[in-house]
Chain A
């Protein structure tokens, strides 16, 4: 590689292009990186041939392999509005600070009575938070908090979407927002009956269409179904 191999000594290699490329990539990954707070539970969804991306605006219920339900709304304002309404309904007091902190949290899986304590906990404490039994979703007793979360969260998310839409129409600007969708994410090993309870909660609210979250099958090769 050296220009003068006969003379020996250290071979000089022009590293400039490599360094350029390295910095270009660093810049790219830095700018595209989106940091998320860690979810309270890691769920490994099954794979499927489905190739629809999950819309950014969603209301998601996660079911882990023990059957615990976790609830999350992607839209921060809808989340805030839902918390305020839930607090009034279940008579749990939240400080202004807690409400703001709550909107930054990913999904949660605690009873609303434990929620203030959960919000105040640090991220490390939250991972070990007890009792993290999942959002109560008893379909028989009236204590179906998940149902209320979905109903209120869904209503708020749709309201915010519609408000933004009418506002865009009034000012004649391009509107790119998507209607919120309901998503269910469950671990492969979750018993289906647990998922069924969640689906029942949705259908009780007359919500019949939702997205089941899956990972992409076999590294992304999708074969034409009709073959």
Chain B
């Protein structure tokens, strides 16, 4: 079809070509245009619709009601330079004979070996339970709704950890999304965003410096 007509090559001095008019049209410009348009539309096409992450925030408790202390909570404190600090249990300002020693914070980072490993260790028992349920579900021993309900029950187990996410004023939005993402990924039970407390902030500042 769209071949290049080469003038005067090929046959050497032989008989003249028939006077038949060629019906072939040079399609090159059209093809050029077609590909130009194709490239334009491919590049301007927006395929990936934005993804979203559903998040429900707790309604603030009535003012006169004292907030319940979370029994087995793990608190993550996010700070600048993607640093995460955490402590387990209740926050203790000073050494206490009943509750135990003063709270100190340890550090984690957003790598597979650090945060993910930590979360996996913490939620091992629960994940095993969910895995058993999942197996049953896949073997069709459980119906869809029952499976979902049982998974929810396992997650709501009062013995499982509650994760509290707090940030100082220098943590970025990315850090928050990353940690929520990691918690989702590891199917932990409950997590919640909470405001940071002054003594916690002081501990973080001690580690990262005031500015």
Say whether A34 contacts B34, CB under 8 Å.
Answer: no
Contact of A226 among B9, B51, B55, B130 (CB under 8 A): B130
Binds B, one of A16-24, A119-127, A138-146, A168-176: A16-24
Say whether A208 contacts B57, CB under 8 Å.
Answer: yes
Q: Report the minimal beta-carbon distance from A214 to chain B, rounded to whole angstroms.
A: 6
Contact of A49 among B4, B45, B46, B181 (CB under 8 A): B181
Main secondary structure of the interface of A (DSSP, over half): mixed
Q: Report the minimal beta-carbon distance from B100 to chain A, rounded to whole angstroms.
A: 30
Say whether A33 contacts B45, CB under 8 Å.
Answer: yes
Kindly state the separation between the CA atoms of A76 and B9 in the bound complex, as whole angstroms. Answer: 66
Say whether B48 contacts A46, CB under 8 Å.
Answer: no
Taking CB atoms and an 8 Å cut-off, the chain A residues in 189-227 that contact chain B are: 189-196, 199, 202-203, 206, 208-217, 225-226
Best-buried of B37, B58, B78 by chain A (most CB within 10 Å): B37
Say whether B54 contacts A209, CB under 8 Å.
Answer: yes
A133 at the interface (CB under 8 A from B): no
Kindly state the separation between the CA atoms of A133 and B46 in the bound complex, as whole angstroms. Answer: 28
B113 at the interface (CB under 8 A from A): no
Say whether A10 contacts B134, CB under 8 Å.
Answer: no
Which residues of chain B are within 8 angstroms of A194 by Cβ–Cβ distance? 173
Say whether A225 contacts B185, CB under 8 Å.
Answer: yes
Contact of A45 among B41, B50, B55, B175 (CB under 8 A): B50
Q: Report the minimal beta-carbon distance from A63 to chain B, rounded to whole angstroms.
A: 8
Binds A, one of B65-73, B88-96, B141-149, B164-172: B164-172
Say whether B58 contacts A48, CB under 8 Å.
Answer: no
A25 at the interface (CB under 8 A from B): yes
Say whether A13 contacts B51, CB under 8 Å.
Answer: no
B52 at the interface (CB under 8 A from A): yes
Which residues of chain B are within 8 angstroms of A211 by Cβ–Cβ distance? 52-55
Which residues of chain B are within 8 angstroms of A191 by Cβ–Cβ distance? 169-173
Q: Assuming A13-B3, A30-B41, is B52 touching A50 (CB within 8 A)? A: yes
A97 at the interface (CB under 8 A from B): no
Say whether A190 contacts B177, CB under 8 Å.
Answer: no
What residue in chain B is nearest A25 (Cβ atoms)?
B38
B131 at the interface (CB under 8 A from A): yes
What residue in chain B is nearest A53 (Cβ atoms)?
B49
Taking CB atoms and an 8 Å cut-off, the chain B residues in 3-43 that contact chain A are: 3-6, 9-10, 27, 30-31, 34-35, 37-38, 41-42
Which residues of chain B are within 8 angstroms of A51 by Cβ–Cβ distance? 51
Which residues of chain A are within 8 angstroms of B185 by Cβ–Cβ distance? 49, 225
Main secondary structure of the interface of B (DSSP, over half): mixed
Contact of A225 among B3, B57, B172, B187 (CB under 8 A): B187
Contact of A8 among B1, B5, B10 (CB under 8 A): B10
Say whether B10 contacts A226, CB under 8 Å.
Answer: no
B211 at the interface (CB under 8 A from A): no
B140 at the interface (CB under 8 A from A): no
B111 at the interface (CB under 8 A from A): no
Say whether B53 contacts A225, CB under 8 Å.
Answer: no
Say whether A33 contacts B1, CB under 8 Å.
Answer: no
Q: Report the minimal beta-carbon distance from A114 to chain B, rounded to whole angstroms.
A: 27
Which residues of chain A are within 8 angstroms of B37 by Cβ–Cβ distance? 26, 30
Q: Report the minimal beta-carbon distance from A32 to chain B, rounded to whole angstroms.
A: 7
Contact of A9 among B10, B34, B51, B58 (CB under 8 A): B10
A37 at the interface (CB under 8 A from B): no
**26 pairs from A and B in contact (CB 8 Å cutoff):** A8-B10, A10-B4, A12-B1, A13-B3, A15-B1, A19-B34, A33-B44, A46-B174, A48-B180, A53-B49, A54-B50, A54-B52, A183-B52, A188-B173, A189-B172, A189-B173, A191-B171, A191-B173, A192-B176, A193-B169, A195-B176, A199-B57, A211-B53, A214-B51, A214-B181, A225-B184
Interchain residue pairs A-B with the least CB separation, the first 8: A29-B41, A211-B52, A50-B53, A188-B174, A12-B3, A46-B174, A22-B34, A190-B173
Interface residues of A (CB under 8 A from B): 7-16, 18-19, 22-23, 25-26, 29-30, 32-34, 36, 45-46, 48-54, 63, 183, 185-196, 199, 202-203, 206, 208-217, 225-226
